[in-house]
Amino acid sequence: MKKRWWLNLILLGLVASLVAFLYLRPKSAELTNEVYELSSYKLSEFNAISVEFPTKAAVTFEKKAGLWRLTAPYQTRADQASVQRILAIVAASSPEKFTSNDLEKFGLNNPAVKLKLIRSSGNFEEFLFGAHNPITGQQYALHKNSVYLIEGTYSEAAATQAIEMVDKSPLNSTEKVAGFDFSRLEQWEASKLNVDLVDGHWSVSIPKAKPVQNELNEWLDYNWVHSFAKSVELYTPDRKVTYPSFEVKLADGTKVHFDKIQESPELVLARPDEGLKYSFASDVGFVMLNPPINLPN
């Protein structure tokens, strides 16, 4: 009995010692959950972006009428989600913050990417991205003389190839569709197909067609308004070549012309006014150019 009593005392002493150690030891940054915000900026502060690299030309963006556009290396609509991923740096946080006395130590003396967020006044905020930490895989970033350790996704978003930053929707979000003229496509040449949307009601130029309004609404929504190409490339029209073509009629009375470059193994549509061509899977492409107008067999 006495032996067990001594054993209990020893165990009690060990527990007390452990509790004292845990209580008195210095608290690490991880235990205190200390987080450092890189900035407190608002997205609405900025109307231009410049992404700069050591060995290639900068990629730049400008916000016009509420939408971001690429301005270099070429001028066209930008993919809005891609730009938002670049801007996400303003909300980044880090568990580590260092002074920037030795930039070479962090790979920031010759940064892989420089990101400038520019205000309409011309002043800007700059973020530099340097080396990756070999243990955590995170990346060192410099802003306002402080170095932070953040996820590499921020610099990856900024360094995305410019062509991948182009909006993959064949129609601008501000272009309101009022109809389609498919009469110059092979399958519709004989019938001169036009489908028109007037005051929310669809009409079809082929008398035998029996269109269902909801089916055409869904076709427009899923295959045009919210349709995104697999890939986008620059396009220079060849004056010597004539392609099958069609036009999208807009509510303001204008039209958007598309050339059908190829139909198989995937549909490739070109938009000469924007100098772009879009590639779609063949099944998606077929539905885009063949609206559900319910012709009798």
pLDDT band at 141 (very low <50, low <70, confident <90, very high): very high
Residue 267: which residues within 8 A CB-CB, separation 6 or more? 260, 279, 280, 281, 282, 284, 285, 286, 288, 289
Q: Is 50 helix (H, G, I), strand (E, B) or coil?
A: strand
Nearest to 224 by CA among 288, 160, 180: 288
pLDDT band at 17 (very low <50, low <70, confident <90, very high): very low
In whole angstroms, give the CA distance from residue 54 to residue 252: 45
In whole angstroms, give the CA distance from residue 48 to residue 61: 5
Instruction: Compute how many other C-beta atoms are within 10 angstroms of the C-beta atom of residue 149.
Output: 18
- Strand runs labelled E in 144-237: 146-150, 177-181, 194-198, 201-204, 231-234
Give the residue, 107 or 19, on which the prediction is more confident. Answer: 107
Which residue type does 159 have? A
pLDDT at site 296? 86
pLDDT at site 6? 52
Average pLDDT in the 34-58 region?
Answer: 95
Domain residues of the chain, as ranges?
A: 32-165, 177-288
Which residue type does 91 have? A
Residues in the chain, total: 297
In whole angstroms, give the CA distance from residue 137 to residue 77: 34
Task: Characterize the bridge pairing of strands 97-99 and 245-250.
Answer: unpaired
In whole angstroms, give the CA distance from residue 258 to residue 290: 15
pLDDT for residue 90 is more than 50 = yes
- List beta partners, residue 55: none
pLDDT band at 297 (very low <50, low <70, confident <90, very high): confident
Distances (CA, A) of 221 to 182, 211, 218: 18, 16, 5
pLDDT for residue 266 is more than 90 = yes
pLDDT at site 127? 98
pLDDT at site 23? 39
In whole angstroms, give the CA distance from residue 169 to residue 278: 8
pLDDT at site 13? 55
pLDDT band at 12 (very low <50, low <70, confident <90, very high): low
Q: Is 215 helix (H, G, I), strand (E, B) or coil?
A: helix
- Is the Cβ–Cβ distance between 61 and 48 less than 8 Å? yes
Q: Is 85 helix (H, G, I), strand (E, B) or coil?
A: helix
Residue range 160-203, pLDDT digits in tens: 999 999 999 999 999 999 999 999 999 999 999 999 999 999 99
- Is the Cβ–Cβ distance between 92 and 143 less than 8 Å? no
pLDDT band at 11 (very low <50, low <70, confident <90, very high): low
In whole angstroms, give the CA distance from residue 289 to residue 188: 10
Average pLDDT in the 249-265 region?
Answer: 96
Q: What is the chain's mean pLDDT, rounded?
A: 90
Instruction: Compute how many other C-beta atoms are within 10 angstroms of the C-beta atom of residue 77.
Output: 21
pLDDT at site 49? 98
pLDDT for residue 3 is more than 70 = no
Residue range 106-131, pLDDT digits in tens: 999 999 999 999 999 999 999 999 99
Task: With 0.75 as the threshold, say if the pTM is over it.
Answer: yes
pLDDT at site 5? 53
